[in-house]
């Protein structure tokens, strides 16, 4: 069987949670299909496509175990932490954050004067605006100018072609 892609793995992961619940109830696959949830699961997660290879005379426990093993092999990383670290946990793991009052205040850099607009000198913030933003605006202006020049050249060529065409007609 080919290695499953991420979309299939996500569907299998959702399916495995349903199969775990069924495994606790000791249900067979057919009994699971008779339940209301299973119809919903079957249509939404395409259970038959995912579980079909495992349906040959194997009870649900074995199917669920195999799917769980596949999921463990497929997922390289562990579960992500949803709640933030508390202060004590942060100390244990070296992630304690310093309070904002203890950090030194940022000093505003003096205004830098650019020699040329296209200079590559690393510049410091000018009046609170970052230079990256200014470079972005410069690049935008350059692109607009380039497009306008291209339009102008295109218009000139079009007029030239029209003149040649008119001369040819005469």
HEC secondary structure over 47-72:
HHHHHHHHCCCCCHHHHHHHHHHHHH
Q: Let me know: does 60 contact 22? Beta carbons within 8 Å.
A: yes
- Listed residue (79, 55, 76, 77) closest to 66, CA to CA: 55
The length of the chain, given as a count of residues:
170
Which one is predicted more confidently, 140 or 111? 140
Is 70 exceeded by the pLDDT of residue 117?
no
The predicted pLDDT at position 67 comes to 72
């Amino acid at each position: 069987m080919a290695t499953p892609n991420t979309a299939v793995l996500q569907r299998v992961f959702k399916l495995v949670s349903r199969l775990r619940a069924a495994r606790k109830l000791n249900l067979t696959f057919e009994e699971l299909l008779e339940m209301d949830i299973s119809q919903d699961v079957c249509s939404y997660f395409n259970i038959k496509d995912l579980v079909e290879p495992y349906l040959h005379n194997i009870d649900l426990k074995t199917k669920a175990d195999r799917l769980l093993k596949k999921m463990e092999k497929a997922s390289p990383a562990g579960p992500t932490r949803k709640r933030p670290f508390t202060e004590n946990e942060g100390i244990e793991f070296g992630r304690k954050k310093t309070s904002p009052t203890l950090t030194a205040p940022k000093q505003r850099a003096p205004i830098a004067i650019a020699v040329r607009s296209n200079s590559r000198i690393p510049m410091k913030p000018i009046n609170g605006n970052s230079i990256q933003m200014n470079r972005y605006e410069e690049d935008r202006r350059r692109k607009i100018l380039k497009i306008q020049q291209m339009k102008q050249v295109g218009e000139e060529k079009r007029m030239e072609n029209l003149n040649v065409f008119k001369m040819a007609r005469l």
